[in-house]
Structure 1
């Protein structure tokens, strides 16, 4: 495995391509693997031709900001009676059916969109809820819609809105938080997991008093799985002491100085900014945090009134993000592994229902069921994704994608191979003019395309080359020899060669990295 980025000493200054540090396929795929779920061949070629990483980052962020949340399904605001009536009409349409519809939509969005949905996944593992806990498919949709809406926006408003979302109210018992019996679950996680970090700038009294400030969001009007609204009669209408200041704190809206969320961001802005930027850094750059870089990001966060997009622009454009030490420094999550490979193969666009079900099932099997993290702390990621039990599932899942693609699309598979930007990836030749000994250039181009740093070890490269070449006699690769035919990309057996190489790549440790 490649080491983490603890040796990454590059700054947050914008990366400008040079002869010594060129803009290339490795950096383009690095950007797309981190901020989206891989790049198509067209995106790689366009980015190479543009040769302007900062402009590409601006485009990806602007595109994400402009993308509206997905359309609401017909059941987006149903209550439990309506779901039960639907099941009575069709026994296959039970609660799990609708929850899986929501999960498939999320997988679909990963494959069709970019940064907005990468961040939606990130925030779902930050503001954690578990849909198997609150059960309502409507709450699931409303929560997911909220994640998409705020993905790159105002983090303060995000915190405010997520706290009174139905999914979160039920998940952390906010719907039981009354003036006579304050429930501290959400208040504790608000500080410990969502804004400040464990034991960082708050004490037990702050939790107790904050729980009182967010009482009252308990009104259901006796409609199971219906809207949960504020009941002023259940609000603790007393003075509270939070962060050493007293007021009748409550959920009044961020324009009020007595709003408990506004108070948090006023009194603890540096701590909040450092904590959130630290999480963004470890997710997008490296599991080992560079505190100096994070501090600079945090200042950008504060300066821009806790808008998320400016922090990401600064980070993704930087020399630090594109430094060689950052490339291949993170272990792929199950979603990264399958969705990115699916997209880089240009398997299906748009994906079919069968493919969505397959991807959902396989990511769930090896530990990452979307909208249902393992607990309130979420998936811890990186090395936790690799275990003896999960590793076999990772290999088999990627191989299944390759097998299905090859079995269903042998002609398309050949088109995919010839369509790869090998002529752009490997200097000195164009796709269909190479022959003979240039096979090593093709193999290197493919390895560089699917592995973050290619294969730097010559022995490992020679092994991959031998697997690719074994389909034809050695003299096919010797242009100076007398042979009935020389190897080219047009030979009928070339798709089989690439199938063997991709199957080999699947099992390489380097393939588990992004």
Structure 2
């Protein structure tokens, strides 16, 4: 069962958010949506949402994500080993290419990219265990295909994906030598939660029902079901007796424990998209109604997502800036908020440093995945965030992109020449809520003003076209990246 936290400060309901004079629809709330439902957005993208109502805006994001087709399959996406010319070299290159592709997808796909990252930390596999490019693509394709689809279908399809069959030992689960690994994680991590509504007998009997996916025509090809290695005996799962197979297990699970599944998944969605703090009132007033919505819609995810994201609860001021950014959030969000240049080699660096900060793409630490939030921050990972941001901004400054730094400042401030105003606008662009004190802005302003004599600011001589301005913006951005507020979304 989920751990119950201290009481939440957010008492708003699931009723649809309706803007008012006391609770207006504004840039801050739109940025909140993009930081949670995507990996942030540029100011121009944010501004496009202002004329929309909150409901229209959420509908547009969810509907676009639902309609987005999966990333096109690479030529090698369904290869078996015999299709490779030079397996060792090609497999390494293809994995590299798909890591870059996934990073680009996360950054550019808004809600579909965000949900892909979420589900990859729910239906966990570890690339280092199977390290095979076609299976990596196929796993990713399954996640993209079902990211906003039917959760029951998602559970069914991910369990017999090649990567999962290898990772959780389904390939080794036979009638002669049953393996309980996938059956256990199916209930404990993927659908019900630890100790919630299943017994050890259910695990044993389920493992027998899942036998038979043990063969491929060629090494590295599609793993298929073979009745010769399937246990055809009578099994009892959640009180139902029969000669059950794989699809029967999924049917019985959702028939007998459907509401428990919905509560478990809605709790995970809530903790990821709204707040890691879940108390008894949140369960009663938010999660249980979401679970009922999921049940009433036959496990379709879109109605649940729309109900949550349109709610007063999601838009409550106390929901803004309460989640610690992941390493992906930190760098992908910054790039989207600035629209600064990046290419394949820079994306590779992003992914490399994200791995050093504890989030290596396609390689969670174990089957339970990243625990997120406070787990992202320690003395080494925090300094790693600072170093990555500094390396990236300094790279832009020193490699012909320095004017993009001042272009950002000009665009956000209408080409102001007031250093205090420029500083405040840039700081506020990157943090979910304004800084706590005026002194915090003063410190940042002094850093931005650098060594330029004060009289040049006083008489209006200085402006963002000065030769020193790109370096000054570099200093300010590096300072912002070290702010505690920058680590939140």
If the length of structure 1 is used for normalisation, what is the TM-score? 0.90
- Structure 1 residue 246 displacement after superposition: 1.2
- Structure 1 residue 17 displacement after superposition: 1.9
- Aligned residue in 1 for 2:268: 279
Out of 154, 157, 164, the residue aligned to residue 158 of structure 1 is: 154
Out of 213, 223, 226, the residue aligned to residue 221 of structure 2 is: 226
The number of residue pairs the alignment matches comes to 480
Task: Please tell me the root mean square deviation across aligned C-alpha atoms, in Å.
Answer: 1.9
- Aligned residue in 2 for 1:513: 488
- Separation in structure 2 between the aligned mates of residue 441 and residue 460 of structure 1, nearest angstrom: 13
Asked if the contact 1:178–1:218 (Cα under 8 Å) also holds between the matched residues in 2, the reply is yes
- Aligned residue in 2 for 1:309: 302
Asked if the contact 2:267–2:287 (Cα under 8 Å) also holds between the matched residues in 1, the reply is yes
1:502 maps onto 2:477 in alignment: yes
Q: Deviations over 1:289-325 (max 9, x none)?
A: 2213111211111111111111111111111111111
Out of 237, 245, 250, the residue aligned to residue 250 of structure 1 is: 245
Asked if the contact 2:427–2:480 (Cα under 8 Å) also holds between the matched residues in 1, the reply is yes
- Separation in structure 2 between the aligned mates of residue 435 and residue 331 of structure 1, nearest angstrom: 33
- Separation in structure 1 between the aligned mates of residue 7 and residue 431 of structure 2, nearest angstrom: 17
1:30 maps onto 2:5 in alignment: no
- Structure 1 residue 247 displacement after superposition: 1.8
Asked if the contact 2:397–2:471 (Cα under 8 Å) also holds between the matched residues in 1, the reply is no
- Structure 1 residue 471 displacement after superposition: 4.2
- Structure 1 residue 493 displacement after superposition: 3.6
Asked if the contact 1:169–1:175 (Cα under 8 Å) also holds between the matched residues in 2, the reply is yes
- Separation in structure 1 between the aligned mates of residue 146 and residue 224 of structure 2, nearest angstrom: 21
Secondary structure of the equivalent of 1:218?
A: strand
Asked if the contact 1:70–1:145 (Cα under 8 Å) also holds between the matched residues in 2, the reply is yes
Secondary structure of the equivalent of 2:86?
A: helix
- Aligned residue in 2 for 1:179: 175
- Aligned residue in 2 for 1:416: 408
- Structure 1 residue 398 displacement after superposition: 1.1
- Separation in structure 2 between the aligned mates of residue 451 and residue 285 of structure 1, nearest angstrom: 17
- Aligned residue in 2 for 1:425: none
- Structure 1 residue 488 displacement after superposition: 4.5
1:368 maps onto 2:355 in alignment: no
- Structure 1 residue 490 displacement after superposition: 4.8
Secondary structure of the equivalent of 2:246?
A: coil
Secondary structure of the equivalent of 1:325?
A: helix
- Structure 1 residue 59 displacement after superposition: 0.7
Residues 164 and 435 of structure 1: CA distance in aligned 2, closer, same or farther (over 3 Å):
closer
- Separation in structure 1 between the aligned mates of residue 245 and residue 485 of structure 2, nearest angstrom: 51
- Separation in structure 1 between the aligned mates of residue 125 and residue 209 of structure 2, nearest angstrom: 21
Secondary structure of the equivalent of 1:190?
A: helix
Out of 299, 313, 318, the residue aligned to residue 320 of structure 1 is: 313
- Aligned residue in 2 for 1:331: 324
Asked if the contact 1:15–1:318 (Cα under 8 Å) also holds between the matched residues in 2, the reply is yes
- Aligned residue in 1 for 2:251: 262
Residues 489 and 176 of structure 1: CA distance in aligned 2, closer, same or farther (over 3 Å):
same
Alignment of 1:4-15 (within 5 A): 6-15=8-17
Alignment of 1:29-428 (within 5 A): 29-48=31-50, 50-83=51-84, 85-87=85-87, 93-221=89-217, 223-252=218-247, 259-289=248-278, 290-292=282-284, 293-348=286-341, 351-407=342-398, 408-420=400-412, 422=413
Asked if the contact 1:177–1:218 (Cα under 8 Å) also holds between the matched residues in 2, the reply is yes
- Structure 1 residue 489 displacement after superposition: 4.4
- Separation in structure 1 between the aligned mates of residue 442 and residue 273 of structure 2, nearest angstrom: 32
Which contiguous aligned blocks of 4+ residues in structure 1 show a shift greater than 6 angstroms? none
- Separation in structure 2 between the aligned mates of residue 265 and residue 282 of structure 1, nearest angstrom: 23
Secondary structure of the equivalent of 2:432?
A: coil
* Greater shift in the superposed pair: 353-362 or 460-469: 460-469
- Structure 1 residue 4 displacement after superposition: 9.7
Secondary structure of the equivalent of 1:191?
A: helix
Out of 1, 15, 18, the residue aligned to residue 16 of structure 1 is: 18
- Separation in structure 2 between the aligned mates of residue 388 and residue 354 of structure 1, nearest angstrom: 27
- Separation in structure 2 between the aligned mates of residue 406 and residue 58 of structure 1, nearest angstrom: 39
Residues 231 and 315 of structure 1: CA distance in aligned 2, closer, same or farther (over 3 Å):
same
Residues 15 and 492 of structure 1: CA distance in aligned 2, closer, same or farther (over 3 Å):
farther
- Structure 1 residue 474 displacement after superposition: 3.0
- Structure 1 residue 476 displacement after superposition: 4.2
Q: Deviations over 1:196-222 (max 9, x none)?
A: 00000000000001111111111213x
What stretches of structure 2 of length at least 5 have no aligned partner?
Answer: none
Asked if the contact 1:99–1:140 (Cα under 8 Å) also holds between the matched residues in 2, the reply is yes
- Separation in structure 2 between the aligned mates of residue 26 and residue 103 of structure 1, nearest angstrom: 32
Residues 307 and 443 of structure 1: CA distance in aligned 2, closer, same or farther (over 3 Å):
same
Q: Deviations over 1:365-419 (max 9, x none)?
A: 2111111111111111111111112122111011122112222312222222212
Asked if the contact 1:139–1:167 (Cα under 8 Å) also holds between the matched residues in 2, the reply is yes
- Structure 1 residue 443 displacement after superposition: 2.2
- Aligned residue in 2 for 1:427: none
* Greater shift in the superposed pair: 469-478 or 369-378: 469-478
Asked if the contact 2:340–2:404 (Cα under 8 Å) also holds between the matched residues in 1, the reply is no
- Separation in structure 2 between the aligned mates of residue 278 and residue 386 of structure 1, nearest angstrom: 23
Secondary structure of the equivalent of 1:268?
A: helix
- Structure 1 residue 122 displacement after superposition: 0.5
* Greater shift in the superposed pair: 110-119 or 164-173: 110-119
